[in-house]
Amino acid sequence: MTDFTMEKDADGVATITWDVPGKSMNVLSMDGAAELSRLIDDALADDAVKGIVITSGKADFAAGMDLNVLAGMKQGGPQAVFDGVMSLHHLLRKIERAGMDARTLKGGKPIAAALPGTALGIGLELPLACHRIFAADNPKARIGLPEIMVGIFPGAGGTTRLSRKLGAMAAAPLLLEGKLNDPAKAKAAGAIDEVVADPVAAARDWVLSAQDADLVKPWDAKGYKMPGGDPWHPAGFMTFLGANAMVMGKTMGVYPAARALLSAVYEGAQVDFDTALRIEARWFTNVLMNPSAGNMIRSLFISKEALEKGANRPDVPDQRVRKLGVLGAGMMGAGIAHVAANAGIEVVLIDSTQEAADRGKAHSAGILDKGISRRKLTEARKAEVLAHITATTDYAALNGCDLIVEAVFEDPSVKAEVTAKAEAVIPADAIFATNTSTLPISELAKASSRPEQFIGIHFFSPVDKMALVEIIRGRETGDRAVAKALDFVRQIRKTPIVVNDARFFYANRCIIPYINEGIRMVGEGVNPVLIENAARLMGMPLGPLQLVDETSIELGARIARATRKAMGDAYPDEAVDAVIFAMEKAGRLGRKAKAGFYAYDDAGKRQGLWEGLAADYPRAEGQPELTEVQHRLMFAQALEAVRALEQGVLTDIREGDVGAILGWGFAPWTGGPFGWLDMLGAERAVEIAEALAADHGDRFAPPALLRDMAAKGDSFYGRFGAQAAAA
């Protein structure tokens, strides 16, 4: 079983084919790298070989490094990481120098990469070490270096080669944003050289005709200057200054990878190429050893993929959806119909008037039109998607639906009525799901004649953009319903978590305390600028006040009233309500009303925090420390996640972490609330929570589970993460 094989032909071309057995996509392991190294040695030493083509036996070239291998390397400590990375550098440098004379730079063998499809991460770093890159004219292929998205950066020479090839400015979107391009755009960006119908044939022709000079990389030639200027050049200086400011602005300094990447480019630009590779390897080691990188890889890659592949799927036969009924064609129903139709599922979209149903279908047309205007879609594709949606008021059209998702008004009696109406028509074995965000599933299931086939499938808004779907098991929900929901989520290519039924399920349960803590501080006279910045500086994408403006203060007030009614005397958020109800009364309902905690211009563009807040809530004399504000905002969320675990709402901490990042943007650099608490350590977390509880109330009292962990020196992943691959 080998990942790479080599064939030599009569013309003197050695073709190395990458084809990892048993995988649909190539990923590089250290064993694979060693095999490739041996084949390169063989071809370079063989006088009959004139040139080498490296390609793939699969539809795509490669998805990158096997991240499990990286996780393993990390376990060996920093020296093991550094040595592992350096061994890749040696291999790629050997390919780049291709046996040429070190002084004359002559006599090397041309090596070309032929990419049939997608080439990501090391799948592009390897080609970048070759002398020429040919990609198939395959618009579906994605080419780029996405490492930054999982908290690391291209560490197999991609950072150094691309920045030297393109200059720091042009390389920035590819390196710092992990931007992926189709082959035509990748060529325009300078990441690859040619887009052709048959990359292997083109690469063969090229290696047979290449001259010595074609093999010498600019950085190995005399007098190399970095495009756009190195850091000491006036133009280069400005680039680095700007890039540094941009990175700090975007990441708030909490993502170690972005800073390390910039340092590797900046420092590397001032030394020779091989020293630059060593610098890159050191920074890569630094980042990989940082707990943030491990947590991000674990949550955003390993756990996310495991959940998408059905890690918690009950063992029942395939439940893929063939015909979906969506009840209610409002904002959510229309979005759900769209994503399902887009995945090729037949959809019946029902509302109480034909006009409303049509409006729901038009929502899908609107999204597709946007895709067409961005040249991502064709008119034919739009017609194909829309043809899957039947917009009607006629419940009889639900005949034959194997799944219903109900998204009518958030009113139990309306929901009960449509449940009964739909169940009168749909097959006896169909599953009925509700998209409610606040009503208990087990209560709504009472309207169903088959409660074991009743489940919650909770989408987030906007449905076409949000990746998370929360699946909620009611008291009587059976396994087949859970499998159905998971198979549906997989069809529409989103990420599922499965939780048990309790107030606000998981995501909203944690996000509400975050928003409330921010609002509570406004009421206490904490400077709102401090509140918002404290959140952003912890890596939250939106401060709590901006978030509630976005989701609507009106909705917040409605939820507050309902919760208060349900909880009676135990209701803990009087102080929050005072502010929220006052805002509601003043008509400051959030962004939609162009007035909220922020001010907006007539076009609805956010201006700054609303100055009137200072009049209504005079600034307290002593303002809290930044850290205290951050602790309040973060612990409000993280302690709620712990309680959700303690109470059995969450059954898998991977779901808690992935759900937090994808559902409400919980500081992604932490890998999620459990990852973050593990970084702090349970003991320190208890200490902080106790201090917060003493100053601000019982809502911060450490849950018994956290106390127990602190006493025993446990971590969340140590205790509950048996299924979660260690990263």
List the catalytic residues. Answer: 458
Give the residue with the Cβ less far from ligand NAD, 336 or 685: 336
Residues sharing a CB contact under 8 Å with residue 272, sequence separation 6 or more, in sequence order: none
437 binds ligand NAD (CB under 6 A): yes
Q: What is the closest distance, in whole angstroms, from the C-beta atom of residue 448 to ligand NAD in the complex?
A: 16
Q: What is the closest distance, in whole angstroms, from the C-beta atom of residue 321 to ligand NAD in the complex?
A: 19
Structure tokens at 435: 């998209």
330 binds ligand NAD (CB under 6 A): yes
470 binds ligand NAD (CB under 6 A): no
333 binds ligand NAD (CB under 6 A): yes
3-class SS of residue 140:
coil
Give the residue with the Cβ less far from ligand NAD, 153 or 505: 505
User: Which of 69, 331, 425, 537 contacts ligand NAD by CB under 6 A?
Assistant: 331
* Cα 2 from Cα 51, distance rounded (Å): 22
550 binds ligand NAD (CB under 6 A): no
Give the residue with the Cβ less far from ligand NAD, 394 or 625: 394
Q: What is the closest distance, in whole angstroms, from the C-beta atom of residue 348 to ligand NAD in the complex?
A: 12
* Cα 520 from Cα 550, distance rounded (Å): 18
User: Which of 350, 431, 534, 636 contacts ligand NAD by CB under 6 A?
Assistant: 350
Q: What is the closest distance, in whole angstroms, from the C-beta atom of residue 335 to ligand NAD in the complex?
A: 8
Give the residue with the Cβ less far from ligand NAD, 44 or 336: 336
What's 570's DSSP letter? G
Residues sharing a CB contact under 8 Å with residue 631, sequence separation 6 or more, in sequence order: 688, 692
Residue 122 · residue 30 · CB < 8 Å: no
Site stretch for ligand NAD (CB under 6 A), options 80-88, 282-290, 381-389, 455-463 = 455-463
Q: What is the DSSP string of 444-491?
A: HGGG-S-GGGEEEEEE-SSTTT--EEEEEE-TT--HHHHHHHHHHHHH
Half-sphere exposure of 492 (CA within 13 A, CB side): 31
Residue 693 · residue 490 · CB < 8 Å: no
Identify the residue whose tokens are 């009925």. 432
Residues 87-126 that bind ligand NAD (CB under 6 A): none
* Cα 118 from Cα 668, distance rounded (Å): 26
User: Which of 141, 332, 345, 636 contacts ligand NAD by CB under 6 A?
Assistant: 332
351 binds ligand NAD (CB under 6 A): yes
Residue 160 · residue 283 · CB < 8 Å: no
Q: What is the closest distance, in whole angstroms, from the C-beta atom of residue 407 to ligand NAD in the complex?
A: 4
Burial-class residue 489 by CB neighbours within 10 Å (0-12, 13-18, 19+): buried
Q: Binding pattern to ligand NAD, positions 388-427, x when CB under 6 A?
A: -------------------xxxx---x--xx---------
505 binds ligand NAD (CB under 6 A): no
Sign, Cα dihedral of 476, 479, 484, 489:
positive
Residues 289-328 that bind ligand NAD (CB under 6 A): 327-328
Q: What is the closest distance, in whole angstroms, from the C-beta atom of residue 479 to ligand NAD in the complex?
A: 24
User: Which of 17, 55, 435, 500 contacts ligand NAD by CB under 6 A?
Assistant: 435
Site stretch for ligand NAD (CB under 6 A), options 212-220, 291-299, 454-462, 542-550 = 454-462
Beta bridge partners of 133: 113
* Cα 265 from Cα 269, distance rounded (Å): 6
Q: Which residue has the CB atom at the shortest distance from ligand NAD?
A: 330
- Binding site residues, ligand NAD, CB under 6 A: 327-333, 350-352, 356, 407-410, 414, 417-418, 435-437, 458-459, 461
